[in-house]
């Protein structure tokens, strides 16, 4: 599945952009809306994409989604990071303890996937206590999405397919922001961002009938939830592997390759599920 944030500029006519900023005791925050990108947000506040990425511990600068809350650099409480050069005998745990942050926060700030793999001379960015506090939950979200009609459709098909409705809603939210009229440059369509080949296979081999996934939210969710259930079956009902397959394709996932951006996608879907539909 294609990243929602990467294809919005190619969305169909009718998609509108809404910029939402809020002020808090900790400073200024920005709530990501449909159509946003980090470069667009950076230009609004005259800051760099890198500074937003660093402050919010974003693993992939191409991946943000509606409802995500971003701290804006330069606002009160933003804090400053420092750097540390790894010495012989250092461990990430020891460095974290020295600076009063967690290992996870150091990993997030430096894009470290394996906490046991650091090397002498490596320069680490160490977040300030304020930054660490902002990043401790790894993802900050705004108020949960609200569309009773769409939720009813997703609840119906999640129940029919035996899926966690929260996962279905989270997938649709991260994929499209619950917008049926979104089309990616690769041709993925609708709420569940179905690729043309996947849609054709589902119609011909699974449902045995033509569906209107490009214009009908009902049909799109029907097909997307069936595909997700098929992936769940194929992965032994391992939610994380099934989500990875949904995003990057089951074949490549089955081969044992999972891309870093896929891990970001899976983490985001589960974080949205846990925050909005626990």
Alpha helices (runs of H) in the chain, residue ranges in sequence order: 4-7, 38-45, 49-56, 92-99, 103-110, 129-135, 148-161, 165-176, 196-201, 217-234, 239-248, 250-254, 260-276
CB atoms within 10 A of CB 120: 10
Which structural domains are found in the chain, ordered by start? 4-71 (3.10.350.10), 82-127 (3.10.350.10), 148-276 (1.10.530.10)
For residue 33, the Cα-to-chain-centroid distance in whole angstroms is 13
Look at the pTM and tell me if it is higher than 0.85.
no
DSSP assigned state of 183: B
DSSP assigned state of 237: S
Phi, psi angles (nearest 5°) of residue 41? -65, -40
Report whether 108 contacts 68 (CB < 8 A).
Answer: no
For residue 269, the Cα-to-chain-centroid distance in whole angstroms is 6
What pLDDT is recorded for position 73?
A: 81
Q: What sign for the dihedral angle of Cα 45, 51, 55, 60?
A: positive
What pLDDT is recorded for position 205?
A: 97
* Apex 217 CA angle, 258 and 184, nearest 5: 45
* Apex 253 CA angle, 252 and 259, nearest 5: 85
What pLDDT is recorded for position 4?
A: 39
Using DSSP's 3-state secondary structure scheme, residue 83 falls into strand
d(CA 38, CA 56): 11
d(CA 52, CA 49): 5
HSE toward the beta carbon, residue 115, CA cutoff 13 A: 14
d(CA 120, CA 84): 11
What pLDDT is recorded for position 273?
A: 92
Low-confidence spans in the chain with pLDDT less than 70:
1-27, 34, 75-81, 128-142
CB-based contacts of 214, cutoff 8 Å, min separation 6 = 183, 189, 190, 220
Helical (H) or strand (E) element with 258: none
């Amino acid at each position: 599945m294609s990243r929602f944030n990467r294809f919005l500029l190619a969305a169909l006519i009718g998609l509108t952009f809404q910029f939402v900023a809020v002020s808090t005791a900790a400073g200024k925050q920005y709530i990501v809306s449909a159509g946003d990108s980090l470069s667009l947000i950076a230009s609004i506040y005259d800051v760099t994409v890198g500074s937003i990425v660093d402050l919010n511990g974003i693993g992939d600068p191409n991946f943000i989604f509606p409802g995500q809350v971003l701290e804006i650099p330069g606002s009160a409480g933003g804090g400053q990071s420092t750097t540390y050069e790894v010495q012989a005998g250092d461990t990430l745990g020891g460095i974290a303890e020295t600076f009063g942050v967690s290992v996870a926060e150091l990993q997030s700030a430096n894009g470290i996937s394996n906490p046991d793999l650091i090397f002498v001379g490596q320069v680490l960015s160490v977040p300030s206590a304020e930054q660490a506090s902002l990043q401790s939950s790894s993802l900050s979200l705004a108020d949960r999405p609200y569309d009773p009609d769409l939720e009813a459709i997703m609840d119906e098909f999640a129940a029919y397919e035996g899926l966690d409705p929260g996962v279905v809603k989270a997938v649709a939210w991260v994929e499209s922001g619950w917008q049926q009229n979104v089309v990616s440059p690769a041709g993925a369509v609708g709420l569940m961002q179905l690729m043309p080949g996947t849609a054709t296979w589902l119609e011909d081999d699974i449902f045995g009938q033509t569906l209107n996934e490009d214009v009908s939210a009902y049909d799109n969710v029907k097909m997307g939830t069936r595909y997700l259930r098929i992936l769940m079956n194929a992965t032994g009902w391992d939610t994380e592997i099934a989500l990875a397959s949904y995003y990057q394709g089951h074949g490549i996932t089955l081969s044992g390759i999972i891309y870093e951006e896929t891990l970001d996608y899976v983490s985001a879907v589960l974080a949205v599920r846990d925050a909005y539909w626990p």
